[in-house]
Structure 1
Amino acid sequence: MKKLIPFLFGIFLITSMNAQQDPYFKVMDVDKYEQAVARKNVQLVDVRTAEEYKEGHIKGAKNIDFFADDFLKQFRSFDKEEPLYLYCRSGNRSAKASKQLSDAGFKNIIDLKGGYKAWKAAGKK
């Protein structure tokens, strides 16, 4: 038993480190994110539900619901080589979406740290 606990802890640590070190996935704070998405022709996606999106969203964001059956299919027209900016309410769904999109071949995924809640808390429009 004494050897099993350190072994399990080691497996957990390695697994969590690998999950956070996806080379195609970055998290960006609100101010840097705002500057990045202010450019023209940026791929900006809100992965919240349609109802959440209607309550407020970042200007120029396309709404693709993470829970939709065809979530990944809706990204067919996106350029996998260009930066893809994602956000959700708090960062949880967009992190999961980033993993799926990275597995689907997207090479540069940027997630908004703290999600739309952080965006609004910072007074952004």
Structure 2
Amino acid sequence: MNLSASDFYQKISSDENAVIVDVRTPQEFNDGHIQNSLLIDIYNPTFQSKILELDKTKNYYVYCRSGNRSYHAGVFMLSEGFGSVQHLEEGIISWTEKLER
């Protein structure tokens, strides 16, 4: 489930079934996010219901600032039957590729 920044980048670049999920706050998201990321704030009370609306057959790549929130989001997703969930182990602070703003 844990991917380094380089492995995360390689996976999302080559996986046609990838869904990238940013679990940070809207402010953090607006400060810069990975291209094509879907924002689902883990601190929002609707987080679990929004996650459960997602297609469980897709491949999910989850990230946050440092890896803690995305790890917990990934554990939740796996417990709810999502088949493929990876997370950016050291978070976006380890990301060296371009960010969208």
**TM > 0.5 fold call:** yes
Measured after TM superposition, the shift of residue 41 of structure 1 is 4.9
Counterpart of 1:32 in structure 2 is: 7
SS of 1:74's equivalent in the other structure is: helix
**Which letter maps to 1:29?**
S
Counterparts of 1:1-125 in structure 2, within 5 Å, are 26-39=1-14, 40-119=16-95, 123-125=96-98
User: More relative contact order in 1 or in 2 (CA 8 Å, sep 6+)?
Assistant: 2
Give a deviation string over 1:61-120, Cα, whole Å, max 9, x none.
Answer: 01100011111211234221221110000000011111111111112110012100001x
Partners of 2:93 and 2:12 lie apart in 1 by: 17
More helix as a share of residues: 1
Please tell me whether the aligned partners of residues 81 and 106 of structure 1 are also in contact (alpha carbons under 8 angstroms).
yes
In 1, are the aligned partners of 2:17 and 2:59 still within 8 Å (CA)? Answer: no
Residue identity (%):
33
What RMSD in Å do the two structures reach over aligned CA positions?
1.3
Contact 1:46 1:64 (C-alpha < 8 Å) held by counterparts: yes
Question: Mean alpha-carbon deviation: is it higher for 41-50 or for 70-79?
Answer: 70-79
1:76 partner amino acid: L
Structure 1, unaligned runs of 5 or more: 1-25
| Alpha-carbon distance in 2 for matches of 1:41, 1:106 | 13
Q: How many residues align?
A: 97
Give the TM-score taking structure 2 as reference length. 0.88
Residue identity opposite 1:96 in structure 2: H
Check conservation: 1:43, 1:78, Cα contact below 8 A: no
Rg larger for: 1
